[in-house]
Copies of this chain bind each other. A is one copy, B any other.
Amino acid sequence: MSPHRWKEDLIKLGEMGRRIPAQIESYEQLDPDNGLQRLEGTLESKISKEYMIARMKEAGLKVRIDKVGNIYARKEGAKTDKGAVMSGSHLDSVLNGGMFDGPLGVVSALEAVRIINDEGFENERPIEVVAFMGEEGSAFRKTLLGSSVIAGDISVDEALGIKNGEGVTLKEALDTLALRGNFMMDLGDVEYFIETHVEQGPVLDMEKMPIGIVENITGLSWVNAILTGEENHAGTTPMSLRKDPLVAAANIVLLANRRANEMVKEFGGSTVATVGKMVVGPGAPNIIPGKVEMGIDIRDSNKENMRKLQDEVITAIKGLEGEYGIKTTIDIPFDYPPCSCSREVVDAIDEAATAMRIKTKRMNSGAGHDAQNIAKKVKTAMVFVPSINGISHSPLEWTNWEDVENGIKVLTETIKTLSKL
């Protein structure tokens, strides 16, 4: 393994989309005011993808771009009739995020192939490195977008028709950047999938554990609500005549928070509920709001509990109509059930790590990942590496280089093992 190779890739990718250009090489160099923002459809996205495509081609891989902009790089195997081992993640970021969430998984997979090349290891199954399009849903508002298409959850046409905040469709954006192809991956041709990713939580860092192996990926649902009341003068409208959607919305914020806390206490599970988005219009201090748009993020690795909390939130939102005289509309842009990983792949990762005397911890993922889409059709698991202080989706997201290296080692050995099965 040549550390400068994967490290250089991560550092260079880590500059593409930063507000102030900076190649950041250590935690100490992080600047909370200089996050990385690389949304699908932007020039920064194009630059990062072209950088990775060039590296993939340098490694002798055959690069194919599919109809929604997922990028695959293939190393053929000795046996042509066997399904591939696929590994990768995504290159897009959240608003004002960090440099590891996504790129780490793509670079790690490419580095694994480069090591396999260097070693002259003869893989029997083909190996596919993948960079999924639009995982974060930051520009085109559906998370896990590229992997949803190849998993068959939504059609190519539906995906291409999704618009970003500027009203540009995904098709237009990809075509403008020349990042759309004609290929379509058939997951029937893939036998195994492994995604390397930062944990995005504090567990590995707190326990000084280098590798997490994901056994379950949380279910994830968004409930978007628009509450429409009556915009009015804050001074001349008596309390009794108000239809204030913000007062109504405050009840939902508290309910979602309280019920998630109660369910954790009652069932000991991983239930979380978050109102991260709340836009109050028109937003002047002396005008009673006329409209509130809110997004409630609900997650649980237990399917029934997740459904229960979602139902309670929706019922409560509808109940606001009678109580506050407002109108409500509810949209559920996605609703991913919890997902169990493949025992076979989890064990393969564990054995690879143990053989190298690298400690592992089996755990659940509280974040959603492309892996949960692929897992519907392919034997799948994830390799987690520590997030310093559990921070991600932030300019302060960081993973130490030795942890990245451990992740690559474990991934490489796992791919080698699986490619022979």
Q: Taking beta carbons and an 8 Å cutoff, which residues of A are in contact with B?
A: 94-96, 138, 143, 199-202, 218, 220, 222, 224, 231-241, 244, 246-247, 249-251, 253-254, 257, 260-261, 264, 270-280, 282-289, 295-297, 299, 365-368, 390-394
Contacts and interface: CB of A to CB of B under 8 A. Distances in A.
Contact of A236 (B143, B201, B244): B201
- Quickly give the copy total for this chain: 2
Nearest to A260: B239
B233 A393 contact: yes
Contacts of A299: 234-235
Contacts of A95: 282, 284
A288 B274 contact: yes
B264 A244 contact: no
A270 B236 CA distance: 9
Given A233-B201, A392-B233, A238 B272 contact: yes
Contacts of A233: 200-201, 366-367, 390-393
Contacts of A276: 234, 246, 280, 283-289
27 contacts: A143-B286, A231-B393, A231-B394, A233-B390, A234-B299, A235-B272, A236-B366, A236-B367, A236-B390, A238-B264, A239-B260, A239-B264, A239-B273, A244-B274, A246-B253, A247-B257, A250-B251, A250-B254, A276-B285, A276-B288, A276-B289, A277-B280, A277-B284, A278-B283, A279-B283, A285-B296, A285-B297
Contact of A246 (B224, B264, B278): B278
Which one of A218, A275, A284, A296 has the highest number of Cβ atoms from chain B below 10 Å of its Cβ?
Answer: A284
A95 B287 CA distance: 10
Contact of A241 (B202, B240, B394): B202
Which one of A277, A279, A286, A299 has the highest number of Cβ atoms from chain B below 10 Å of its Cβ?
Answer: A286
A239 B271 contact: yes
B295 A285 contact: yes
A234 B272 contact: yes
A240 B265 CA distance: 10
Nearest to A253: B250
Contacts of A261: 239-240
Nearest to A396: B231
Contacts of A143: 286
Contacts of A218: 235
Contacts of A296: 285
Which one of A199, A220, A236, A273 has the highest number of Cβ atoms from chain B below 10 Å of its Cβ?
Answer: A236
B237 A272 contact: yes
Contacts of A295: 285
Contact of A393 (B201, B279, B286, B368): B286
A367 B289 contact: no
A239 B368 CA distance: 17
Contact of A237 (B280, B365, B390): B390
Given A232-B393, A237-B390, A240-B264, 16 more contacts: A138-B284, A199-B236, A200-B233, A201-B233, A202-B241, A234-B299, A236-B365, A238-B264, A238-B272, A244-B257, A244-B274, A250-B251, A250-B253, A277-B280, A278-B278, A285-B296
Contacts of A237: 201-202, 272, 366, 390
Nearest to A138: B284
B222 A285 contact: yes
A289 B275 CA distance: 8
Given A95-B282, A285-B276, A289-B276, A247 B253 contact: yes
